[in-house]
Amino acid sequence: MTKTKKGSPLLPLLEDKVVVVSGVGPGLGRSIAVRCALAGADVVLAARTEARLQEVAAEVEALGRRALCIPTDIADETSARHLAETAVAEFGRVDTLVNNAFAMTPMTDLADADFAKIRSSMETNVLAALRLTNLFTPALVASCGSVVMINSAVLRHSRRPYGAYKMTKSALLSVAQSLSTELGPQGVRVNTVAPGYIWADTLKAYFAHLAKQRGVEPQVIYDETAADVDLRKLPEPDEIADAVVFLASDLARAITGQCLDVNGGEFHH
């Protein structure tokens, strides 16, 4: 269905570095962890579901790198603090924190917004990422490390009914930019990756649902969607993860406070 070049072994851009990834699941979180391992990093895996962490850990270890699974609810301060303390105690250092965890907001117009649900999403999407960054800051300062925030192409449009989600992701971008200014003098870089469509299981299931409603093949939905993307293909998780690897690496040593859009050219920024 796509013309992508499959993810190949990476240069050892992160050799012997330690990368913490929050929100590890079967899609982008998994790809970030595995692509960091391919680039030479040991990986700390954080998510609420331990079984999912173990599956990704097995992939990391099969590549010859160490993986540490720490079941974590990043919205809970005690749990987040345990993650930071355990990661540093186990590896003695942390070089990059990838804030990938997120909570989807209700998909309604802002006029119909459920404020309680928006607050809950804001807690995970913004405040939890800030809390985790603050907890890891001493280790990141010691390693002259970096933070990568995973954002969304929702930053680039105001389509209905994404208003509440855009609120949280716009706030996360502001946090990343302010942290860049605050932590830069201490040698810590803070950047953002903003994916567009991600061609993984969730989107595939959604396209299959749309195709069934219209009585067409999923390829039709894919082609119609990709027609608005310059590269005429939807980015896959590994392609977005490679942008994270780049920003975590020394190749990006002079890059901070930036938002890198990885959307195949759907939006230009």
Residues 160 and 109 sit within 8 Å (Cβ to Cβ)? yes
Q: Tell me which residue of 183, 153, 184, 191 sits closest to 170, measured CA to CA.
A: 153
Q: What would the two tokens of residue 214 be?
A: 């219209």
Q: How wide is the angle at C-alpha 203 spanned by C-alphas 170 and 169, nearest 5°?
A: 5
Q: Which residues of the chain are under the pLDDT cut of 70?
A: 1-9
Q: Which CATH number fits domain 18-198+236-262: 3.40.50.920, 3.40.50.1820, 3.40.50.720, 3.40.430.10?
A: 3.40.50.720
Q: For position 4, what pLDDT does the model report?
A: 42
Q: What would the two tokens of residue 166 be?
A: 């855009």
**Torsion from C-alpha of 199, 201, 203, 208, nearest 10 degrees:** 120
Query: Residue ranges of the domains in the chain?
Result: 18-198+236-262, 199-234
Q: For position 10, what pLDDT does the model report?
A: 77
CA distance 207 to 193: 24
Q: Has 165 been annotated as catalytic?
A: yes
The residue with tokens 């201490």 is 186
The residues near 29 (Cβ < 8 Å, ≥ 6 apart) are 21, 22, 23, 47, 56, 100, 101
CA distance 160 to 113: 12
Pairing of β 189-195 and β 259-262: parallel
Q: For position 161, what pLDDT does the model report?
A: 95
Residues 64 and 27 sit within 8 Å (Cβ to Cβ)? no
Q: Which of 162, 165, 197, 222 is catalytic?
A: 165
Rounded-to-5 percentages of helix, strand, coil across the chain: 50, 15, 35
Residues 212 and 250 sit within 8 Å (Cβ to Cβ)? no
